[in-house]
Amino acid sequence: MKEGSLALALSGLSFMMAVIWGGPLLRVLRHFKIGKLIRVEEPGAHMVKMGTPTMGGAMIIVPVALLTVLLNAASLLGLNVLGRSVMLPLLVMGGFGLLGALDDWEGIRGPRRGSGMRIRTKFGLQILLALGAALALRYVLDVPNMYWFSYQGEIDLGFWYIPIATFVIVGACNAINFTDGLDGLAGMISATCFAAYGVIAILQGQVFLARFCFTLVGAIFGFLWFNVHPAQLFMGDLGALALGATLGVVALMSGQWLLLPLIAVIPVSEALSDVIQIVYFRLTKGKRFFKMAPLHLHFELMGWSEMQIVQRFWLVGLLGAMLGVALAVV
Cα of 297 vs its chain's centroid, Å: 19
Mean pLDDT for the chain?
90
| Per-residue model confidence as pLDDT tens digits over 66-111 | 999 888 776 656 555 556 688 999 999 999 999 999 999 988 877 7
Confirm if 178 and 270 have CB atoms less than 8 A apart.
yes
| Per-residue model confidence as pLDDT tens digits over 169-208 | 999 999 999 999 899 999 999 999 999 999 999 999 998 8
Provide the number of structural domains found in the chain: 1
| Per-residue model confidence as pLDDT tens digits over 115-174 | 778 999 999 999 999 999 999 999 999 899 999 877 778 899 999 999 999 999 999 999
Residues 6+ apart with CB under 8 A from 1: none
What pLDDT sits at residue 166? 98
* Calpha distance 226→321 (Å, rounded): 24
Residues 6+ apart with CB under 8 A from 84: 72, 75
Give the structural domain span for 275: 2-328
